[in-house]
Amino acid sequence: MRRVLCALTAGLALGLAGQALAADSPENLVKYRQSVMKAIGGHTGAIAAVVKGEVSFGAHVANHARGIKDMSLIVPDIFPANSGPMDYADTGALPEIWEEPAKFKLAVSAFQSAAAKFADIAEAGDRQAIADGLGALGKTCGGCHKPFRKKKE
C-alpha cells in the first residue's frame, strides 16, 4: 500500500510538470485518452438522465457541467503524436487527427466553447435552457467524433 502511495505521489509530482513524458507508451496514452473520454461521456449521460426526468438530481447538473468543462481543458493534451492508430491499433482515433491538425483544432475549440457556455447555463439552472444547451454541447461531440473517430461496427 505504502509503495503504491509513493508511486502515486511520484506520478502526481511528475504530472504537475504538466506534460506527457516522451516515454509514455502509445498503449497507455490511448487508454488514458479513453478514460478522459469516458469521464466526459459519464457526465454527459448523467445530465441526460436528469434532463429526461429519469432522476431528480437537478442540483447535480452544474457539477457535471463543471466536470465536462474541466475535461475540455485537457482534451488538447490527449492526442500526442505517438498515440495514433499507427502506434497502437486498438484506438478509435482516426489518422485524420494528425493529418489535418488545423481542422482538428477547430473541433476541439468548438467543444471547449460549448462546454464553457454549458457550465454557465447549468449554473443558472433554467431547465429549458439546460435541455437546449445539452443539445448544443452534444453537437460538438459529434462535430469531432464524425470526422475523427472510427465508426462503431
Contact residues toward ligand HEC (CB under 6 A) are 30, 33-34, 37-38, 40-41, 44, 68, 75, 91-93, 107-108, 111, 137, 140-141, 144-145, 148-149
Report in angstroms how near the CB of residue 19 gets to ligand HEC at its nearest. 19
Distances (CA, A) of 135 to 16, 53, 87: 34, 16, 34
**Buried (b) or exposed (e) across 93-102, using 16+ Cβ within 10 A?**
bbeebbeeee
Distance from C-alpha of 141 to C-alpha of 137, rounded to nearest angstrom: 7
Is the Cβ of residue 62 or residue 93 nearer to ligand HEC in the bound state? 93
> Cα angle at 75 between 101 and 5, to 5 degrees?
135
CB of 126 to ligand HEC, least distance (A): 20
CB of 31 to ligand HEC, least distance (A): 8
Query: Do residues 68 and 118 touch, judged by C-beta distance below 8 A?
Result: yes
CB of 2 to ligand HEC, least distance (A): 32
